Chain A
Amino acid sequence: MSGADSGIPALTSAQRVAVVFRREFRSYFQTPLAAVFLVIFLFLAGLFTFNIGGFYERNQADLRPFFQFHPWLYVFLVPAVSMRLWAEERRTGTIELIMTLPFGAADLVIGKYLAAWAFTTVALALTFPVWITVSWLGNPDHGTIVVAYLASALLAGAFLAVGSCLSALTKNQVIAFVLCAVACFVLLLAGFPAVIDFLRGWAPGGVVEGLASTSALTHYESMMRGVVDLRDILYFVLVIAAFLAINVFAIDWKKSD
């Protein structure tokens, strides 16, 4: 029978993700969010690099002053992107619409997440003048810069996965923002030198190292130096996968509240 079904092509999982991705990615540019985010991100990245990071004073042709502030920028800028991902769908009721369209929950989570990640990657890519500047002034190691950019994208990706997951738990975007900022901060803090030094004073070495290795900061900083360690990449991939998996359960659990 299935008279309604005839003639309508069924989409593959990748096509479904692509449909969700396109709508979500465009939505950033339909509101002032994109412009506001890009301007603030680029302004702060520049400010940190040149005024606080001592880009010129160091007299070294590298981008450390630029990259070392990214984790702290992301702590409050990534939640601004991720807070709306699910909270907004729940507030406007569109979650009921998209979850009754022929999509699986995973298609929706992945499509929306990738759109947010693509958006932050665009912001990151727009910092290219910094790279041009340092190349013009000196002879930087371009391999190191490429790895550092990858690390920065992965870090933003990990924070976005955390934020997407937390956004699914509430209808309130402000709550989603605060929860995500705190969670990302904690994820960084475990690797912050001051925290590690404090712990070293009394905790066994294994515990300190173990805790530090759960921190995004530890993995980010080792990549920022240009070292490609598979464990660092694996760390980010695992964090992203884990939080997106929780995200799928979270929307099923919370969707009808």
Chain B
Amino acid sequence: MASRIVAKKLEKRFGHIHAVRGIDLEVPAGQVLGFLGPNGAGKSTTMRMITGFLEPTAGTVELEGIDLADDPIAAKRTFGYLPEGAPAYPDMTVEEFLGFIAHARGFRGADAKARVERSIGRVNLQGVRKQAFETLSKGYKRRTGLAQALLHDPGILILDEPTDGLDPNQKFEVRELIKELGGDRAVVLSTHILEEVEAVCTRAVVINRGQIVFDGTPAEMESRAPREVTRNRMDHVFRMITTGDVAAQKGGRR
């Protein structure tokens, strides 16, 4: 099966800053890709180019075979996106906000209502559905963002730090949900939490200074750690790859 997301030679420059330097990424259905990297490595910028929020300086993005630059509106119908920080309109209630998303996605009347209901049920928002977004806790805000991204049952999900700021229970719930969703979708999620990659991802991609420095399964990533490292092996490898920390490469502790 063809890849649902195909990004080729993505480049992004902001003035003299070269934020993303030639990223190639293909994500087929059924894959949950953990997108890792230190702050400022270009994770969000890459996701913003894949979702069409930012125009790449060079390179192309195809979503479900639709070229984003050729037909941005059709391409934007193929995915659900949770932007960093899960933004939503502060004065709208959860229900109103999801209703707006349903209309934006082309649903009307009873169809739109059914979509909103399903989305609310899926991420357990029943208790806060009449509450204004600005009054919600961080966890509920994040879940509202997920509900919004899932509403049209997209084949592609792009989630920028979906568990950031959640408590351990909420993190667990969101991870379970992502695992469940991964089945027949192409999912890209960025995170700082390496245990999350082990828990939910089938593939790990690490970027550093705008370039891919590791691409493989979480198990492969972990196996790169020296044998004498017994705890937090993923963190160790992450440090090795992204800082070139010699001590880490030799297996020493910092």
Question: Are the C-beta atoms of B107 and A8 separated by less than 8 Å?
Answer: yes
Cross-chain contact A30 with B91 (CB below 8 angstroms)? yes
Chain B neighbourhood of A138, CB < 8 A: none
Instruction: For the complex, give the distance between the alpha carbons of A197 and B104 in Å.
Output: 53
Asked if A10 and B77 sit within 8 Å, CB to CB, the answer is yes
Cα separation A9 to B148 with both chains bound (whole Å): 18
Given contacts A2-B65, A2-B66, A8-B107, contact A94 B87 (CB under 8 A): yes
Contacts known (A10-B74, A19-B100); A96 close to B65, Cβ less than 8 A: no
In B78-115, the 8 Å CB interface with A consists of 78-79, 81, 83-85, 87-92, 96, 100-101, 103-107
Interface bin, chain A: 20 to 34
B52 at interface by CB-CB < 8 Å:
yes
CA distance A96 to B86 in the complex (A): 10
Contact with B along A79-123 (1 / 0, CB 8 A): 000000000000011101111111110000000000000000000
B88 touches A94 (CB 8 A): yes
Q: With A93-B83, A93-B85 in contact, do A99 and B106 touch (Cβ < 8 Å)?
A: no
Docked pose: A2 CA to B156 CA in angstroms? 10
Q: CA separation between A102 and B104, bound complex, in Å?
A: 7
Q: Is the interface of B mostly helix, strand, loop or mixed?
A: loop
Is A96 touching B100 in the complex (CB atoms < 8 A)? no
**A210 touches B (CB below 8 Å):** no
Contact B73 A102 (CB under 8 A): yes
Asked whether any CB of chain B lies closer than 8 Å to the CB of A229, the reply is no
Residues of chain A with a CB closer than 8 A to B233's CB: none
Q: Inside 8 A of A101's CB, which chain B residues have their CB? A: 76, 101, 104-105
B64 at the interface (CB under 8 A from A): yes
Contacting pair A4 B155 (CB below 8 A): yes
Is A1 within 8 A of B106, CB to CB?
no
Count how many chain B residues have C-beta atoms less than 8 Å from C-beta atoms of the other chain: 44
Encoded as 1 (CB less than 8 Å from any A CB) or 0, chain B from 64 to 76 comes to: 1110000011101
Q: Secondary structure at chain A's binding surface: helix, strand, loop or mixed?
A: loop
User: B87 near A92 (CB under 8 angstroms)?
Assistant: yes
Q: List A contacts of B48 (CB < 8 A).
A: 96, 256
Interface string of A9-25 (1 = CB under 8 A from B): 11100001001001100
Q: Closest Cβ of chain A: how far from B29's Cβ, in Å?
A: 8
Given the interface contacts A10-B106, A92-B90, A96-B87, does A1 sit within 8 Å of B78 by beta carbon? Answer: no
Docked-complex contact B2 and A1, CB < 8 angstroms? yes
Contact B104 A19 (CB under 8 A): yes
Q: With the chains together, A23 CA to B83 CA distance in Å?
A: 20
CB within 8 Å for A100 and B64 given contacts A2-B78, A27-B89:
no
Residues on B with beta carbons closer than 8 Å to the beta carbon of A8? 77, 105-107, 152
| A57 interface contact, C-beta 8 A | no
**Interchain CA distance A92-B79 in the complex, whole Å:** 22
Check if B117 is an interface residue, CB within 8 A of chain A. no
CB proximity of B111 to chain A, nearest CB, Å: 9
Could you say which residues of chain B place their CB within 8 Å of the CB of A256? 14, 48, 53-54
User: Is the Cβ of B92 less than 8 Å from the Cβ of A100?
Assistant: no
Is A219 engaged at the interface, CB distance under 8 Å to the other chain? no
The distance from the CB of B159 to the nearest CB of chain A, in whole angstroms, is 12
Partner of B154, one of A4, A31, A93: A4
Cross-interface CB contact of B103 among A22, A27, A30, A252, cutoff 8 Å:
A22
Q: In the complex, what residues of B have CB within 8 A of residue A97's CB?
A: 81, 83, 87-88, 148
Q: Chain B contacts of A94 at CB under 8 A? A: 87-89
- Distance A8 CA – B103 CA, assembled complex (angstroms): 11
B51 interface residue (CB < 8 Å to A): yes
List 19 additional contacts besides A1-B2, A31-B91, A256-B14; criterion CB under 8 Å. Answer: A2-B65, A2-B66, A4-B64, A4-B152, A8-B152, A9-B107, A11-B106, A19-B103, A30-B91, A94-B87, A96-B48, A96-B87, A99-B53, A100-B52, A100-B81, A101-B101, A102-B73, A103-B104, A104-B73
A sample of 13 inter-chain contacts (CB < 8 A) reads: A2-B64, A2-B155, A4-B77, A4-B79, A11-B106, A27-B91, A100-B52, A101-B76, A101-B101, A102-B105, A102-B106, A104-B73, A256-B48
